[in-house]
Structure 1
Amino acid sequence: MSRRGRLPVRCPSCGGDLHVVELACPGCSTSVRGDYPLPPLSRLGGEDQQFALAFVLRSGSLKEMARLYGVSYPTVRNRLDALIERLGAIIESHERDATAAGEGEDADVPSDGG
């Protein structure tokens, strides 16, 4: 986790999913506006994100994950299965929301004039 803290994914007022509406380049001050839902992996809890990152960095080796976490292979397998289930629910929710919102429309992206 960065020093800036964890990226908020839920509205503190109503609990709804937050979306990114503006991205800015600190180098040239260009900004891009649109309505972008957060990627599914960013919607996982911090521990799940760390587990997923460790899993990818170890080429998906459950044996290496068991060694890293100091637990048995079946324990790592169970944790991975639970993570897959949570991620599947997040993706399903994201797809439902995208369908309901009519996603697929072009965002406001600056044109290069050509």
Structure 2
Amino acid sequence: MAREAVAGRFSEVGVAPDSAFADAVLLVVSELVVNVLRHAPRSPVADVGITVGARHLVVSVADAEPCLPEFEPGATGAGLQLVAELAGEYDGDISAEPAIDHDGKVVLVRFRVPSQAR
């Protein structure tokens, strides 16, 4: 459902749905939602968002687990490592911060939108 919701916004934000960039974004969404299911037992749902501005696309996944993941090399599992690599392929990055409006956290993955994806 999260992948479908994000893919449904691609035309709105100028991303070609059949591009390699779209595939990378959808894989990141999948990996982050799977992480919520595996590692956030206090969180019955994940809130997935997508924003675009200044040639950057940001995927956000919020959950109710307050423990922030570590992103240092060797500290992440295969899923977060893949997410970091995909973001890096598009001059982006991954971070996490405490949620503002609820107990929990938000994982943010930033990508630079390639010109061919628009």
TM range (shorter): under 0.3
TM-score by length of 1: 0.26
TM (norm. structure 2) is 0.25
Q: Which has the higher contact order (CA 8 A, sep 6+)?
A: 2
